[in-house]
Amino acid sequence: MLGSLRTSVARAGRTASQQVRRMATDAIAEVEKEAAHAQKEANKWKMISFGCIPVCVGLGALTLSNAHTHHRHAPNYPYMLYKVKDFPWGPDPLFGYK
């Protein structure tokens, strides 16, 4: 009886160790597959980023160059600064037009 118990325990130990090895191999393969996928995704986003940098710089330069366009000044008509009498604070206007 003791001999058969030892044999069954030894077999169970061998099958358990084989199962552990198989599970470890499967886990390692899954981790390697996941790492390869992560590397592929990282390279993809790296290429997308390097492709978008010139576009963003170009759009920024275009926006900066068009941001301040020169506006046409209104002509100085003779009737625009016409005043009949002096202001209460003196002959000059309040905001410095002469």
pLDDT bin (cut points 50, 70, 90) of residue 5 is low
Share of the chain above pLDDT 90, in %: 34
**Span between the terminal Cα atoms of the chain, in Å:** 122
Mean pLDDT of 7-20: 65
Distance of CA 40 to the CA centre of its chain: 18
Question: Distance between CA atoms of 64 and 68, rounded to whole angstroms?
Answer: 8
pLDDT at 69: 66
Residues counted in the chain? 98
pLDDT bin (cut points 50, 70, 90) of residue 43 is very high
